[in-house]
Amino acid sequence: MSREADTWLADAARAFAALRPGDDATRAAIARLLGLAAPTATSRLASGPAAGDQGRPSSRTLGPGGTAGQAPEPAEASRSLDRLPLLEPVGREAADVTSWSPGESMPRVTAEHLAAVPSYDPLFAPRSAVSVIHALLAQDARDGPVDVAALVDTVARLRPIREIPHERRLTLRFGAQLLLDVGEGMEPFARDEEMFADQVQRVTGTATPVGYFADCPLRGTGSGSISSWDRYRPPHAGTPVLVVSDFGIGGPLLYPQRSRLEEWARFAQLLAEAGCPVAGLVPYPPARWPADLARLIPLLTWDRGTTVGAVMARIR
């Protein structure tokens, strides 16, 4: 018997075990659906060994001396195969043929198609990018209108008025410092960084110098080539510093130059001593931020979901 026939018998046995047919007609119908031409064979499978075979061990499980687990003799094996009916397919069906109707073909690729640069979307939403940048870099001018509510509250509590309170008025006239990470971990975002630096300088003008560094500013910064970089120096007191970096999150798995938390801790301490507020833009979701780093430096996700409200809640 062929291996294909053995497969059909096994399929029939599994079908009978699952469906438990109660009569020969049902068993025969199942056998026909499986491609078995001899219902008697399926009836044997369902009802077990024949009456003359009751109590006789199968030649597949006993060896020539009746020892279990040994291979049967060739003659005995052939006799057991002779008792099985020869199975033949009950029918054949032609394979489905898919006909493709002729339609309009796609236009041929031309040199213009290959040379065209696809449109590029920045990480910040274009409609809110200017507002987000303003919220990131603006500082309180401390010269807004008098805060009457705060003044009345102070007088009502019989407290001395040491200074006139003013409402917050954010301004960019104090300038800012933008630091862009060009290390290996930020290579996928190199074009985004160039576009972001462009956006920042369109909003703030020349009051925001751009500095570049690799992995951590304490390893050296500069506005030109790496050979011209020098030791990092904080800006004037009160100037906000915005760092765009992966903060050691990205990059190759075995990247040896990955920045460390200790370096960022020293960087945050240096800016705190200089009186410069700092914030960081990270092109990764908060779930990947090191918790200790997020406590040192206010971090924001550099992505479409970042809004002015999120910026104000995080760094103000």
Read off the pTM.
0.58
pLDDT tens string 184-199? 999 999 999 999 999 9
CA 256 to chain centre: 24
Residues 6+ apart with CB under 8 A from 196: 122, 123, 124, 180, 244, 281, 302
pLDDT tens string 138-174? 887 677 778 788 888 888 888 888 888 777 777 787 7
Residues 6+ apart with CB under 8 A from 60: 72, 80
CA 129 to chain centre: 24
| DSSP H or E run through 47 | helix 39-47
Cα atoms in the 13 Å half-sphere on the side-chain side of 11: 13
Task: Specify the DSSP class assigned to residue 9.
Answer: H
CA 305 to chain centre: 16
Q: How confident is the model at residue 49 (pLDDT cuts 50, 70, 90)?
A: very low
Q: Which of 7-11, 36-40, 238-242, 278-282 has the lowest mean pLDDT?
A: 36-40
pLDDT of residue 233: 93
Please tell me the distance from the alpha carbon of residue 245 to that of residue 183, in angstroms, as a whole number. 9
User: Would you say 9 and 28 are in contact if contact means Cβ atoms under 8 Å apart?
Assistant: no
* pLDDT greater than 90 at residue 266: yes
pLDDT tens string 53-86? 444 444 344 444 444 445 445 555 555 556 777 7
